[in-house]
Amino acid sequence: MSQYDDDNDVVGDGPGLPTVSNTENTTVNITDYPINYADPNSPTEGAQELQDALTEDEQSLVVLDPSHPLMVRYQEALKQHLLKREEKLSIQLREADNELKKIRDRREALGVTLYNLQQELARHQMLLEKEHDRFGEINQDRQRIDQDIKHIKEKHAKKKDEHDTQMRQTLETQKERDVLQRRLHYMNKAKNDIRGDLSTMRRATEKVDSEVTKLEADKRVQDLFVDRLVQQVDMLREQISMYEYQLRIQMEETKNIKHTLVEARLESETLELETKQLMQNWNSCLIGIR
């Protein structure tokens, strides 16, 4: 608080007004009438109050001119009071200016802070919109991935069914191939047996021919024996012809069986390749699902 905060320090304790006398030597003290010197802008109001306070006898008092010697002391006191009042008001004005400056500085700082907060809010709103867009894209990607996984599972189930079917067909083909291989083995064995029998018969025929040749020299002696031997030779030849015919048939069957085995082997290899391809596709699907 300033030393001039109390207005009564000057007005209440100021110097007393000078006294004047009228023609009848009646003395009146002007300080008996309260004039408000603290408000220099309203002198007429103080005079009006003074005029109202005076009686008819008192209104006959002489009003001193401001340049009167008796008014010098009072005017000096009033001047000092007004100067102090002015100094006090100047100090209050400076304090008010300083406070206003502080308020303006705070307002500017608050404005800068508010602007920065608005900028930060706008940036966060942009980030939020970007995150919303990104969330929408991620959601679309997730839905697309779910659809892809669904298609992959359907393809996987279809491929699994195809693989199971191919495996069953492969097992059946392998069984048929094993049966054909066993039949081929038996046919080869029978062919070898027939070839052995034919060789034996041929040797027997050669032997019979040699005996016939030998017996022809003694034909007249052994006609009955020769006729019997000729019959045996004819029978052997018919058997040889029959065996040769059977051999040709068996060779044709062997050839057909070999051809069938070749086709079965090719089909088996094809099935194995398809099975490997299906297994590779199966592994690729599993890797894709993982």
Q: Which domains does the chain have, with CATH numbers?
A: 8-98 (no CATH), 156-289 (1.10.287)
Beta partners for residue 21, in sequence order: 27
Tokens of 211: 């005996």
Condensed to tens digits (0 to 9), the pLDDT of residues 169-227 reads 888 888 888 888 788 888 778 777 777 777 787 777 777 777 767 766 666 666 676 67
Decide if pLDDT at 237 tops 80: yes
Decide if pLDDT at 40 tops 80: no
Decide if pLDDT at 9 tops 60: no
Decide if pLDDT at 90 tops 90: yes
Of the candidate ranges 8-17, 98-107, 256-265, 273-282, the one whose mean pLDDT is the lowest: 8-17
Comparing CA positions, the residue from 150, 172, 161 lying closest to residue 282 is 161
Q: What is the pLDDT of residue 265?
A: 83
Q: What is the pLDDT of residue 215?
A: 61
Q: Which residue has the higher pLDDT, 66 or 47?
A: 66
Decide if pLDDT at 98 tops 90: yes
Task: Check residue 22 and report its DSSP letter.
Answer: -
Q: How far apart are CA 203 and CA 205, in angstroms?
A: 5
Q: Which residues contact 28 (CB under 8 A, 6 or more apart)?
A: 19, 20, 21, 22, 58, 61
Decide if pLDDT at 47 tops 60: no
For the full predicted model, state whether its pTM sits above 0.75: no
In whole angstroms, what separates CA 244 from the centre of its chain?
83
Q: What is the pLDDT of residue 212?
A: 65
Q: Whole-number mean pLDDT of the chain?
A: 75
What is the percent of the chain with per-residue pLDDT over 90, rounded to a whole number? 17
Q: How far apart are CA 158 and CA 155, in angstroms?
A: 5
Condensed to tens digits (0 to 9), the pLDDT of residues 242-269 reads 888 888 888 888 888 888 888 888 888 8
Tokens of 271: 């099935």
Q: What is the pLDDT of residue 102?
A: 92
Q: What is the DSSP string of 70-90?
A: HHHHHHHHHHHHHHHHHHHHH
Q: How far apart are CA 157 and CA 153, in angstroms?
A: 6
Query: Could you count the other beta carbons within 10 Å of the beta carbon of residue 226?
Result: 18
Task: Determine which helix (DSSP H) or strand (DSSP E) holds 58, and give its type and residue range.
Answer: none
Condensed to tens digits (0 to 9), the pLDDT of residues 110-150 reads 999 999 999 999 999 999 999 988 888 898 988 888 888 88
Q: Which residue has the higher pLDDT, 30 or 182?
A: 182
Decide if pLDDT at 14 tops 60: no
Decide if pLDDT at 81 tops 90: yes
Decide if pLDDT at 60 tops 80: no
What is the percent of the chain with per-residue pLDDT over 70, rounded to a whole number? 73
Q: Which residue has the higher pLDDT, 221 or 273?
A: 273
- When pLDDT is cut at 50, 70 and 90, the band that residue 91 belongs to is very high
Q: Which residue has the higher pLDDT, 220 or 102?
A: 102
Q: What is the pLDDT of residue 83?
A: 93
3-state secondary structure 152-220: HHHHHHHHHHHHHHHHHHHHHHHHHHHHHHHHHHHHHHHHHHHHHHHHHHHHHHHHHHHHHHHHHHCCC
Q: How far apart are CA 28 and CA 57, in angstroms?
A: 11
